[in-house]
Structure 1
Amino acid sequence: MKVLKYKKFVGLHIVCKRCNRQIELSQTQYKGCNHPLERQRYKAVIKINGVRRTKDLKSLVYDDAVKELLEFKELLINPIELNTNLKPNEEKFELFTDFMFMYSDWLENIGVPRHEQKIRSEKYIKETVGYINKFGSFLKKNGGDLSKLTIYQIDKFMLGKYYEYLEETYKSHATFNHNLRALKNFYNFLTIEKELVIPNVPKKMKLKYENPNPTSISDQDFLKLLSVITEKDSIEILKSGAKKNRYRPYTKDGIELCAYTGMRLEEVTSLKYSDIVIDTDGELECIIGTDLKFERAHNWDKTKATKSVYIPISNELKELLERLDYKSNLGVNKYLIADDMNIDRKTLAKQLSHSFTFYRRQAKLGDDFSIKHLRKTFLTKLHLQTGLTESMGYQKTASVVLKNYIDKKAVVKEANKRGFRYFNTNANG
């Protein structure tokens, strides 16, 4: 596979915009990227005041890319002074690929005024750019020359064919909608942010109805899973032949903490001893967690109060906290899980997720649930036993809880168990 010319220069990388991998050194090292040369782009990665800033560079010539990188670095160091001397950009962009790269930069807040910036996760940006690349691949397969195809040549008939392609290719409504939402957002960027005078065709494209139909994990299955989380037989052999040890001293505690708090995985790995609240009698009252999903979407600029979740203390959670020696660590700024390990919280979350899947298979349980279902299970039980789920801060409204998290079958079983009757046989008259 051919790559762009590369000589080592601080902050300069080559990325494949098809799979978002850095490929300047070795494709093998980066999991076998084999996408063609036209998918490659020089990228600047600069750290200023501890903040990592990136930008896709326009030039495909090494020397020009280095100049662009240095200009970008100067702009970051002296944003106000440099901006006053900038000449108006007279270059007119029309190619689809140009706007695709602009969209990638915009998602990373490059060149976006502070008040318009949104914090997006690296995963979201990578997936979104991937969806737009997929649209580009479709155009190419259907006769479009991406080196010449302008954004104005993509008409409603091309977009209609792509809609048909998505329908035929993705039977899952969720996957279909992910692809279509990315296309809709891309066109919103073109028409609103770039102010292109083109019809916003995807605006008329209908998303498919998604029926969440949440399922919860049975008590028996969860207890069976916990019973096999041991150091014995903990090696997983991947398809590549690589071996992974899925056991850590904190694996079982981490999975139980997910189950007993009902928090999302990244939120669980962020819980600390200082989040534990005790009452006036010195007894456990609750744990105060943070709704990180809400914070990213609605409080990225920290102008609102942090959205807290008040986690009730079940008997199981109390026993777990006692095992974690919470009394000796009350008020201490230490993580409940793996605090003594030099491990990033995101890496820890991924590790727990992989371990859950491995041990679920070790327990010979079905593949129809993942670690995410622990949250659905918790909220279903909380709803059935208290009806106060949204009041504790788990979700903003009851409708979100009922639609996305409550296992309807579990509700029916509980109604039967409680002796639901249609007629009150003791009623008079």
Structure 2
Amino acid sequence: MKILKYKKFTGLHIVCKKCNKLIEVSQEVYKGCSHPIDKQKYKAILKQNGGRKTRDLKALEYDAAIKELLEFKHELSNPIQFVSKPPKADLKPESLKDCIMMFSDWLENVDVPFFEQKVRTKEYIRDTVGYVCKLKAYLEKNGYKTDKATIYQIDKSIVNKYFEELYKKSKSIATYNHNIRALKGFYKFLIVTKGYELINPLQYAKLKNEAPNPINVVDNDFYKIINCLTEENAIQIYKNGVKKNRYRPYIKEAFELIAYSGMRITEAISIKYSDIVLNESGEIDFVMGIDNKYEKAHNFDKSKPQKIVPIPYSPELEDLLNRLDYKNHLGEDRYLIGPDENISRESMAKQLSHSFGFYRNKAGITSPIGLKHLRKSFLTKIETQTGLVESLGYQKTKSVIQNHYLVKSEIARAVKGKGFRLFKADDLNKI
């Protein structure tokens, strides 16, 4: 892998802006990064007063990068001069390539005023920039030189052709919609934040309906999958020959906790023994869950109390907690699922999601259900049996629950089960 010229110099590093990895250690592919040289930047990382100061350098030549790093170091050692330095002119590069790099920096809050900064995950930044780069790849495939072609040349007709082709090739509507959202955000950044005089080619672009008819995991299918969770024949072999062991010792309890709690995958496996709440009689009252999606969107700076979702008691949940020996661990800051596993909850969630698909196929289930559909099953059961799903706070609004989570066929069966009829029996004789 070709990288920018590098010689060891205190504070100087090379970072891949595609995956945020330092790559100057080796000319070979490093830590899984195999992105081309045009994704790389020199970066200054300096220690000061026990802290760490960083800056992405503009230079693409080694000597110029050293000079820029020393200027940055001088600025840090002269705080008065640093503060009083006149603001830099807001540059407006015109090539698509440079605009994408500028957008990537903005997403990472590089040179963004503190009160305008927004916390974003590395995964979100990586995916968003990746979707925008797909447009760049499409243009290059069709003969455009994106390092020279200006952002003003990419008009509505070109973008329209790109999305026509993308829609035909996309395996899912969700992927198509992700591309729409990313490019909408890219053009909004250029026009609103940077003041480019552009016509947004995606201003009226509409998202495709992803799930007009939500599906759930029916009881029998869930039992089949649970009974199929064994270490035998747990190796999944991909077409390229790669093998993955889909069994984990905590997999059964993890699937059950997701099913009995109604929380999202990462939220469910992040529940701890200290989240179990008992009533005055010492029995399980409810379990506290955290709405991580709400937290990321509305409480990223942790300035407000966390949004708690009280997970209601059920006999199935109590049985699971008993098997997890909750009485001997009550109050401990310890995960219910895989407490001793050296793995992040996000990575564990992905692992479990893949395993669910593997064991679903192993159980001979043809329905395209995934681990996330257990949440739809739970919320549908709560609604049909109690009518209180909105009040529990699993979603921000009732419309989200109605449109994306409640399985309408199950609602219809519940209505029938409650003895619904339009007319009294005696009235039928009058018709």
1:66 CA drift (Å): 5.1
CA distance in 2, matches of 1:259, 1:350: 16
Normalising by the residue count of structure 2, what TM-score does the alignment of the two structures yield?
0.87
Aligned position for 1:314: 314
Aligned position for 2:43: 44
1:119 CA drift (Å): 1.9
Normalising by the residue count of structure 1, what TM-score does the alignment of the two structures yield?
0.88
CA distance in 1, matches of 2:329, 2:298: 32
In structure 2, do the counterparts of structure 1 residues 413 and 203 end up closer, same or farther at CA, with 3 Å as the change threshold? same
Matched to 1:40, the amino acid is K
Moved more, 51-60 or 202-211: 51-60
CA distance in 1, matches of 2:157, 2:223: 54
Moved more, 349-358 or 97-106: 349-358
Matched to 1:327, the amino acid is K
Q: Secondary structure at the match of 1:214?
A: coil
Q: Secondary structure at the match of 1:201?
A: coil
Aligned position for 2:345: 345
In structure 2, do the counterparts of structure 1 residues 203 and 351 end up closer, same or farther at CA, with 3 Å as the change threshold? same
Q: Secondary structure at the match of 1:333?
A: coil
Q: Is 1:328 matched up with 2:331? A: no
In structure 2, do the counterparts of structure 1 residues 166 and 234 end up closer, same or farther at CA, with 3 Å as the change threshold? closer
Alpha-carbon displacement from aligned partner over 1:5-29 (angstroms, at most 9, x marks no partner): 3446667234274x77776546656
Moved more, 267-276 or 231-240: 231-240
Alpha-carbon displacement from aligned partner over 1:62-94 (angstroms, at most 9, x marks no partner): 343455567678889998863433662475522
Aligned position for 2:88: 88
Alpha-carbon displacement from aligned partner over 1:272-305 (angstroms, at most 9, x marks no partner): 1111111111110001111000010111122333
Q: Which blocks of at least 5 consecutive residues in structure 1 are unaligned?
A: none
CA distance in 1, matches of 2:255, 2:78: 47
Aligned position for 1:357: 357
CA contact (8 A) 1:106 1:112 kept: yes
Aligned position for 2:193: 193
Q: Secondary structure at the match of 2:391?
A: helix
| Equivalence map 1:115-154=2 (5 Å) | 115-154=115-154
| Equivalence map 1:412-423=2 (5 Å) | 412-423=412-423
In structure 2, do the counterparts of structure 1 residues 41 and 197 end up closer, same or farther at CA, with 3 Å as the change threshold? same
CA distance in 2, matches of 1:152, 1:139: 14
Q: Secondary structure at the match of 1:263?
A: coil
Q: Is 1:252 matched up with 2:252? A: yes
In structure 2, do the counterparts of structure 1 residues 250 and 73 end up closer, same or farther at CA, with 3 Å as the change threshold? farther
Q: What is the percent sequence identity of the aligned residues?
A: 49
CA distance in 2, matches of 1:324, 1:80: 59
In structure 2, do the counterparts of structure 1 residues 73 and 256 end up closer, same or farther at CA, with 3 Å as the change threshold? farther
Aligned position for 2:218: 218
Aligned position for 1:237: 237
Matched to 1:42, the amino acid is K
CA distance in 2, matches of 1:76, 1:219: 63
CA contact (8 A) 1:4 1:14 kept: no
Q: Secondary structure at the match of 1:147?
A: coil
Alpha-carbon displacement from aligned partner over 1:28-74 (angstroms, at most 9, x marks no partner): 566684x654x431253859899999765433323434555676788
1:426 CA drift (Å): 4.6
CA RMSD for the aligned pairs? Answer: 3.1
Alpha-carbon displacement from aligned partner over 1:346-377 (angstroms, at most 9, x marks no partner): 22222222222222222222250111111111
Q: Secondary structure at the match of 2:202?
A: helix
| Equivalence map 1:264-283=2 (5 Å) | 264-283=264-283
CA distance in 2, matches of 1:248, 1:337: 11
CA contact (8 A) 2:3 2:27 kept: no
Moved more, 6-15 or 178-187: 6-15
Alpha-carbon displacement from aligned partner over 1:150-177 (angstroms, at most 9, x marks no partner): 2222233333333433344337433222
Moved more, 392-401 or 23-32: 23-32
CA distance in 1, matches of 2:377, 2:114: 40
CA contact (8 A) 2:100 2:132 kept: yes
Aligned position for 1:13: 14
Matched to 1:336, the amino acid is L
Matched to 1:273, the amino acid is Y
1:225 CA drift (Å): 0.6
CA distance in 2, matches of 1:252, 1:143: 52
In structure 2, do the counterparts of structure 1 residues 406 and 7 end up closer, same or farther at CA, with 3 Å as the change threshold? farther
Matched to 2:13, the amino acid is L
Moved more, 320-329 or 207-216: 207-216
Aligned position for 1:103: 103
Q: Secondary structure at the match of 2:288?
A: strand
Alpha-carbon displacement from aligned partner over 1:300-340 (angstroms, at most 9, x marks no partner): 12233321101001111000001111111221111111112
Aligned position for 1:398: 398
CA distance in 1, matches of 2:75, 2:346: 31
CA contact (8 A) 1:263 1:375 kept: yes
Q: Secondary structure at the match of 1:391?
A: coil
Q: Secondary structure at the match of 2:425?
A: coil
CA contact (8 A) 1:56 1:101 kept: no
Matched to 2:14, the amino acid is H
